[in-house]
Chains A and B, each alone.
Chain A
Amino acid sequence: MANDKVYLLIGGAQGSGIETTSYVLTAALARRGYGVLSNREYFSNIVGRHSYIQMAVSSEEIPRSHTFPVDFVGAIDAETVFTHYDDVREGGYLLYDKDTQNTRLIQIKSMESELAERLKERFQELGIELKLASLIDYLANNVGVKVIGLSYRAVLDKLRQKYGLGLAQLQRYRSSIPIGVVAGLMDLDIDSVVYGLSKRFAGRQKIVETNRFLVTEIMEEVKELYGSPLKLEKSKLDHDELLLVSGNDIVGMGKAVGGLRFQSYYPITPAADESLFLERYESLRADGESKGSMLIFQTEDEIAAITSAIGAALAGVRSSTTTSGPGFSLMAEGIGWAGMNEVPVVITIYQRGGPSTGLPTRGSQADMLFSIFAGHGEFAKIVISSGDHMEAFYDSIWAFNLAERYQTPVIHLLDKFLANSITTLPVPDFSSIRIERGKIILEADKGPFKRFDTSETISPRPVIGSGAITWYTGDEHDEYGHISEDPVNRDIMYEKRTVKKLELIDKEVPPEERVQLYGSTDADFLLVGWGMVKGPALDALRELEGEGIKGAYLSLRMLNPLPSEYVLGILEKFGQDKIIVAEHNIMAQAAQLIRMNTGFQIKKQVLKYNGRPIFKMELADAIKLLLEKKEGRVVLKYAK
């Protein structure tokens, strides 16, 4: 019987090629029309530490979340087996390298001592000897995991004989072994795999050919021994083409469509890949014809990143900068200047675990309140957040529109979970995309111009170079932009830039675009969240509905200004007992934001702050637990 959903996990040392494994498999599956969501977990390390890819594959939809246990764990090294031994379900499949079976736990120096210690304790409880072979025996005999042991050396030896590859080259093919096994278990045809390989290794036919041989051999062997128990039904998704994109890619694409002409950045994980992606496309070439030029500018630090982006915006181009927590901290003063001078600039933040450098390569949602309040003094600022890849695409355009319409910095708050997740996405619909440049003036009469005309909340904005002569200053200023400490002028300007602007945004941007309610207000409970919590939230809700518990999900998209009355209206329909917030921080920042804006207190919280994504099963469990209580907090722990 074929499946409609399969969960895979493939692990190996950082730098051993599992990113390629994931890309090739995702492309192969996309080729046959399946939906894939593939997340990458890795250390802040270039080579040697444990990393893994988690893939959800579906014949019915584009997967939104991950869950445990999985159907298949593919281990490139012994560390992966030790680390993920309990991630595979009963009756699921474990691939491992038979040549590593004598490896003892203490020999794995790359493993963090805390994990090694926990495993030791656990294995002793279970009566497992601290050696891979004993663990494998235990999994096969006590858990009912089907173990696929291959001698990777033998596999590579065949390649050496056939293609005469050197030792270092051969090692790179270790990460192709799981491709063969997955292809066998899922009954993927070799043509789709070759399609994936060719996309990854475009123009490098030799590598494609070698891989084809390796994958075919393994695939046939696996099929013979195990059949294809993870075979998916024919895809029901109705797309004749799919984009294969990471979160970084799709945001870059959105910016390009939105008219980006200047992006500054200082390298930081997990943001830099967006700029690198854009740089590859900086001349926006469609069949050789350049549709515009985007300048992707690597600066000396994040202060130069934000201030050069502001400079470019003053000169009239759509301008943004991309960063993560540490870099954003350095930008605070610049953002204040942009607020003071009503500059439309977009700051894209991919949150990672803080404070300080924290967990540099792990996800988080701890910078919401910091983003809203970043910068000294008071000024209007828009903060938006996206729930998935498609939202991130449209929101990247929306951010520019909001920035130019309201002449204010806009923060697009994303996270590592999005940045490093690859998904299959239909090509976005363009019919509703608008480019709204607000009161920009690209050509003006020559001469001095009141850039900060107070007769309207949003003043006309002749750009530098338009002909108009304008002045800007971070000091309080008059309508021309000259320094003024006059108290009467101060009040007028201060109000214009803060509450008046925020009120205008609140009035003009419909609340339905700023928060999204999934499900109806007569559901049994309401889950509230923001950003990438959306995927696991909607999937947990679906699972609970199967158990007869009907929930709704409120996704907060514009965090500042929050559509307070609208949100309060929804919350009050449910009442305190039925509302749970879920987010990736310890302070329940969304709950605090709601309380600050509406006075409504959410007393049930599901929080996760260990840097790993919220998984569907743990969220569903936490919701069930909290529905029984009047109040409480559940901290989610599932993590590897």
Chain B
Amino acid sequence: MQSSRLNYKNDLWIDWCPGCGDFGIVNAMVRAFQDLKLDPSNVVLVSGIGCSGKTPHYFNVTGVHTLHGRAIPFATGIKLANPQLTVIVNGGDGDLLGIGAGHFVAVGRRNIDITVILHDNQVYGLTKGQASPTLPRDLKTKALAKPNIQDAINPIALAIASGFTFVARGYAYWPEHLKELIKMAIEHKGTALVDVLQPCVTYNDIFVVDYYKDRVYKLENDPNWDPVVKENSKDEVQEKQAKALEKAREWGDRIPVGVFYRNPHVETFEERIAKFNPLYEQVPPVMQKIVGEDGVSPSITRDDFRRIFEASLVKVEKL
């Protein structure tokens, strides 16, 4: 199939505020899909609720717009039932790190082969600008009645602590750079996070384009920055994670974007399942026959049943 831009975008009118950072994310995703020549019918975008939640509707690939905070477990079920699919989550900061934080942590523990794109605008966009879990304390964005009194979560640090094996940050107004990060994330085998700084033009009057303009810099410009785990020794993993965590703390005059951490050597959840259950890998669950030759009976016959559950059977011998 030819992968022109049209194959990935549909012509639905996008109802985000003009200038919204989310446009940059869509743009970067489309370009990433083009570069990777993904088969649109094999890509699934799974989103939560919020402005960011609408993302899948604008693509010409399968889209599942789920519940507030639950995109990750929905995506998990889809991926585990059919590991051949490319599954990408789009979620807001409130969605993934507030109401859905438990799932964010859990997916890292599993290292399921999916990509999580975090639309990080420091506010609850769709509910009109309340503080999100990534808004630092003492800041008062436009819609707040008083400054925020809760501390911010650091998504990069949380992802590393949770076991994500690819952790990156992008900037919505650098779509070309963001595209490269998304491509790496998709190609990475394991759970990948791309935290995207995504200015909310309507409710966030602090983290605006002017704010980011002179602060964001690319990690890869430092020739000594090497976030990739190579040998996978315990020491190396610890050292790379420690460096990434240190970098994650950098937020102020300089804000790093790029890859913070990448470890391609960790077994995915799918591989862990297959170790105990080889058929899972050979035939994805969705392709396994559950109906017998006649098209109506179960593929497990009564005799199969007796053999499978032999341990529960008692052979009767009356005296």
Contacts and interface: CB of A to CB of B under 8 A. Distances in A.
Interface of A: 27, 30-33, 189, 195, 199, 202, 234-235, 239-245, 249, 253, 256-259, 261-262, 264, 281-287, 290-293, 295, 297, 299-301, 303-305, 307-319, 333-334, 337, 397, 424, 427-430, 433-437, 442, 446-448, 463-475, 481-483
Contacts of A287: 307
Smallest CB-CB A-B distances: 3 pairs: A311-B77, A259-B290, A308-B77
Given A241-B315, A469-B62, A253 B305 contact: yes
A475 B42 CA distance: 24
B201 interface: no
B103 A300 contact: yes
Contacts of B69: 303
Given A435-B291, A471-B57, A315 B308 contact: no
A329 to B, nearest CB: 15
Contacts of A245: 312
B280 interface: yes
A312 B300 contact: no
Contact of A262 (B1, B81, B305, B311): B81
Given A261-B285, A307-B66, A307-B70, A471 B56 contact: yes
Contact of A315 (B72, B286, B314): B286
Nearest to B10: A448
Contact of B279 (A283, A314, A474): A283
Given A284-B308, A310-B74, 12 more contacts: A259-B290, A282-B277, A283-B276, A304-B103, A307-B66, A315-B81, A429-B302, A430-B305, A435-B291, A435-B299, A468-B62, A482-B57
B78 A30 contact: no
Given A292-B288, A293-B277, A483-B54, A243 B63 contact: no
B90 to A, nearest CB: 13
- Which of B70, B106, B304, B309 has the most chain A CB atoms inside 10 A of its CB? B309
B298 A430 contact: yes
Given A199-B314, A304-B103, A433-B298, A471 B279 contact: no
B73 to A, nearest CB: 4
Nearest to B274: A293
- Which of B102, B278, B280, B306 has the most chain A CB atoms inside 10 A of its CB? B280
- Which of A253, A285, A311, A333 has the most chain B CB atoms inside 10 A of its CB? A311
A366 B26 CA distance: 48
B297 A434 contact: yes
Contacts of A482: 12, 57
B45 to A, nearest CB: 9
A317 B83 CA distance: 12
A314 B78 contact: yes
A158 to B, nearest CB: 28
Nearest to B301: A430
Contacts of B103: 300, 303-304
Contact of B77 (A264, A303, A397): A264
Given A242-B314, A334-B70, A312 B81 contact: yes
B75 interface: yes
Nearest to A195: B314
Contacts of A429: 302
Contacts of A334: 67, 70
A281 B279 CA distance: 13
A478 to B, nearest CB: 11
Interface of B: 1, 10, 12, 40-42, 44, 46, 49, 54, 56-57, 60-67, 69-70, 72-82, 84-85, 102-103, 105-106, 273, 276-280, 283, 285-286, 288-291, 296-302, 304-309, 311-319
A303 B285 contact: no
Contacts of A314: 64, 74, 77-78
B77 A307 contact: yes
A262 B296 CA distance: 21
16 contacts: A30-B314, A189-B319, A257-B300, A262-B81, A291-B304, A307-B66, A311-B64, A311-B78, A315-B77, A315-B85, A316-B286, A433-B298, A437-B291, A464-B62, A465-B85, A483-B65
A469 B305 contact: no
A284 B300 contact: yes
Contacts of A30: 314, 316
Contact of A435 (B65, B82, B296, B302): B296
A437 B292 CA distance: 13
B64 A243 contact: no
A125 to B, nearest CB: 46
B68 to A, nearest CB: 8
A430 to B, nearest CB: 4
B63 A33 contact: no
A301 B302 contact: no
Contacts of B304: 284, 286, 291
A594 to B, nearest CB: 34
Given A311-B76, A465-B85, A468-B41, A301 B102 contact: yes
Contacts of B84: 465
Given A30-B316, A240-B315, A483-B57, A290 B42 contact: no
B308 A249 contact: no
A467 B41 contact: yes
A187 B76 CA distance: 55
A256 B81 contact: no
A446 B41 contact: yes
A256 B70 CA distance: 27
A31 B314 contact: yes
B67 A337 contact: yes
A445 B193 CA distance: 32
A190 to B, nearest CB: 12
B288 A312 contact: no
A333 B69 CA distance: 12
A253 B65 contact: no
A464 B87 CA distance: 11
Contacts of B313: 241-244, 427
A148 B44 CA distance: 69
B314 A307 contact: no
A291 B301 CA distance: 10
Given A314-B77, A315-B85, A468-B41, A307 B63 contact: no
B309 to A, nearest CB: 6
Given A465-B82, A469-B62, A304 B73 contact: yes
Nearest to A259: B290
Contacts of B85: 315, 464-465
Contacts of A475: 65
Contacts of A295: 80-81, 273, 277, 280, 285
A249 B305 CA distance: 13
A295 B289 CA distance: 15
Nearest to A250: B312
A262 B314 contact: no
A315 B82 contact: yes
B285 A291 contact: no
A470 B298 contact: no
B71 to A, nearest CB: 9
Contact of B40 (A235, A284, A299, A469): A469
B109 to A, nearest CB: 9
B69 to A, nearest CB: 8
A446 B301 CA distance: 35
A240 B74 CA distance: 46
B290 A397 contact: no
B285 A262 contact: yes
- Which of A31, A447, A464, A467 has the most chain B CB atoms inside 10 A of its CB? A464
Contacts of A469: 40-41, 60-62
Contacts of B106: 299-300, 304
